[in-house]
Structure 1
Amino acid sequence: MKLVKTRDGRNYLVPFLLVTSLFFLWGFAHSILDVLNKFFQNEMHLSKTQSAFIQVVVYGGYFLMALPAGAVIRHWGYRAGVLTGLFLYGIGALLFIPGAEIMAFPFFLFSLFVIGCGLTFLETSANPYVTVLGDADASEQRINFSQSFNGLGWILGPLVGGWFLFSPESAPNIALPYALIGVTVLIIGAVFCFVRLPEISSSTSSETTGEAQSLTTKDATLDTPQTSTLSEIRILSRKSAFVFGWVALFLYVAAQTGVNSFFINYATEHIAITDSMAATLLSFGGMGLFMLGRLGGSWAMGRIRAEHLLAILAIIATLATSAVVLAPGGIGFAALLVVYLCESIMFPTIFALALRGLGAHTKIASSLLIMSIVGGAVAPLLMGIVADGHSMALGFIVPLVCFVVIAAYAISRR
Structure 2
Amino acid sequence: MISSSRCTHLLLLLPLMFSFFVMGFVDLVGIASNYAKADYQLTDTTANFLPSLVFFGFLLFSVPTSILMNKIGRKRTLLLSLCVTMAALLLPVFNKSFAGMLAAFSLLGIGNTLMQTSVTPLLSTVVSDDELSSALTFGQFVKAIASFLAPLIAAWGVHYNVFGMNWRILFVAYMLIAVLAVMVLSATPFSDEKPADTSGLRSTFALMRRPMVCGCFIGILCHVGIDVGINATAPRIFQEYEGLSLTHAGRITSFYFICRTVGCLLGTFFLSRVSNRRFFVLSVVCIMCGLIGFAGFRSETALYLCVALIGLGNSNVFSITLTQALQSCPEYKNEVSGLMIMGLFGGTIFPLAMSMTSDGIGSQLGAVAVMLVAAAYLLFFAFKIQGKR
TM score, norm. by length of structure 1: 0.86
Q: Is 1:66 aligned to 2:42, yes or no?
A: no
Which residue number corresponds to residue 77 of structure 1?
73
Q: Is 1:197 aligned to 2:190, yes or no?
A: yes
CA shift in 2, pair 1:47/1:167, >3 Å = farther
Q: Please identify, of 147-156 and 67-76, the stretch whose mean Cα deviation from structure 2 is larger.
A: 67-76
CA shift in 2, pair 1:70/1:228, >3 Å = closer
Q: Is 1:300 aligned to 2:282, yes or no?
A: no
Which residue number corresponds to residue 293 of structure 2?
323
Unpaired runs of 5+ residues, structure 1, are 201-221
Aligned residues: 382
- Verify the 8 A CA contact 2:290 2:307 in the aligned structure 1: yes
Residue 338 of structure 1: how far off its partner (Å)? 1.3
Q: Is 1:182 aligned to 2:175, yes or no?
A: yes
Structure with more of its chain in helix, by fraction:
2
Which residue number corresponds to residue 367 of structure 2?
395
Q: Is 1:97 aligned to 2:104, yes or no?
A: no
Residue 401 of structure 1: how far off its partner (Å)? 1.0
CA shift in 2, pair 1:393/1:307, >3 Å = same
Q: Aligned to 2:353, what secondary structure does the other structure show?
A: helix
Looking at structure 1, the residues matched to 236 and 125 of structure 2 have their Cα atoms a distance apart, in angstroms, of 40
CA shift in 2, pair 1:183/1:167, >3 Å = closer
Which residue among 31, 35, 44 is the counterpart of 2:27?
31
Which residue number corresponds to residue 331 of structure 2?
360
Residue 70 of structure 1: how far off its partner (Å)? 1.3
Looking at structure 2, the residues matched to 344 and 396 of structure 1 have their Cα atoms a distance apart, in angstroms, of 18
Which residue number corresponds to residue 53 of structure 2?
57
Q: Aligned to 1:412, what secondary structure does the other structure show?
A: coil
Which residue number corresponds to residue 310 of structure 1?
280
CA shift in 2, pair 1:189/1:25, >3 Å = same
Which residue number corresponds to residue 278 of structure 1?
249
- Verify the 8 A CA contact 1:324 1:332 in the aligned structure 2: yes
The one-letter code matched in structure 1 to 2:247 is: S
Which residue number corresponds to residue 14 of structure 1?
11
Residue 131 of structure 1: how far off its partner (Å)? 4.7
Looking at structure 2, the residues matched to 110 and 412 of structure 1 have their Cα atoms a distance apart, in angstroms, of 40
CA shift in 2, pair 1:169/1:120, >3 Å = closer
Q: Aligned to 1:92, what secondary structure does the other structure show?
A: helix
Unpaired runs of 5+ residues, structure 2, are none
- Verify the 8 A CA contact 2:125 2:191 in the aligned structure 1: no
The one-letter code matched in structure 2 to 1:69 is: T
Q: Is 1:411 aligned to 2:386, yes or no?
A: no
Which residue number corresponds to residue 46 of structure 1?
42
Q: Please identify, of 338-347 and 13-22, the stretch whose mean Cα deviation from structure 2 is larger.
A: 13-22
Alignment of 1:255-270 (within 5 A): 255-270=226-241
Residue 290 of structure 1: how far off its partner (Å)? 0.8
Which residue number corresponds to residue 231 of structure 1?
203
CA shift in 2, pair 1:171/1:180, >3 Å = closer
Which residue among 84, 90, 100 is the counterpart of 1:88?
84
Superposed CA RMSD: 2.4
- Verify the 8 A CA contact 1:268 1:275 in the aligned structure 2: yes
Q: Percent identity?
A: 18
